[in-house]
Amino acid sequence: MAKEAKTNAMRFLDKNKIPYEEQSYECDEFVDGVTTANTLGQPLDMTFKTLVAHGKSGAYYCFLIPVERELDLKKAAKSVGEKSVELLHVKDLTAVTGYVRGGCTPIGMKKQFMTVIHSSAESLTEFYISGGRVGLQIKLSPSALVKAIRGRFDDILL
């Protein structure tokens, strides 16, 4: 069996010498993060989804939160210094990030957006995020990710 092509996210991690593990699963289309975590046997509190939002200023932001939780838009806005943020409509996701729904990750986007990861990840030695395509998850260190993308941790949950 031929090895799958690396995603932009994987190339970024390789270039920055950040260790990671890939986990693939059969999937023809987007499924929610809870289903993905359950399919792969990943703990829900260690599996994070990437949400992209835009602020009143027009800037874009990434927020990573546990898959079973919801983003607090007011806390998210405050975290990035905006008056308000709203989630990017799914139809605009690929044009803005280069990724499709279910394969969006804060690594290797067309442009690196300010990224905030929920503070629960700060105490984890590893967590799971999308690997840059539907059917691919990456396990890596949250602190290594934050350092590489110049992100930060904050309380952004409802």
pLDDT of residue 27: 80
Number of domains in the chain: 1
Sheet of strand 136-140: strand arrangement: 21-24, 136-140, 127-130
The alpha carbon dihedral of 112, 152, 154, 140 has a sign of positive
pLDDT of residue 156: 98
Q: Which domain holds residue 53?
A: 27-154
Q: Which residues contact 91 (CB under 8 A, 6 or more apart)?
A: none
pLDDT of residue 1: 41
Please give the chain's pLDDT, 158 residues, in tens.
Answer: 445 689 999 999 999 999 999 999 888 777 789 999 999 999 999 999 999 999 999 999 999 999 999 999 999 999 999 999 999 999 999 999 999 998 999 999 989 999 999 999 999 999 999 999 999 999 999 999 999 999 999 999 99
Sheet of strand 48-55: strand arrangement: 85-87, 48-55, 60-66, 114-118, 152-154
pLDDT of residue 76: 98
**CA nearest neighbour of 125 among 105, 143, 138, 107:** 143
Q: Is the pTM of this model over 0.85?
A: yes
Q: Which residues contact 98 (CB under 8 A, 6 or more apart)?
A: 8, 108, 109, 110
In a domain, 124, yes or no: yes
CATH of the domain at 103: 3.90.960.10
Total residues found in the chain within this entry? 158
pLDDT of residue 25: 87
Strands 152-154, 114-118: parallel, antiparallel or unpaired by DSSP? parallel
pLDDT of residue 2: 46
In a domain, 1, yes or no: no
Q: Where are the alpha helices (DSSP H) in the chain?
A: 8-15, 33-40, 73-79, 90-97, 142-149
d(CA 103, CA 57): 26
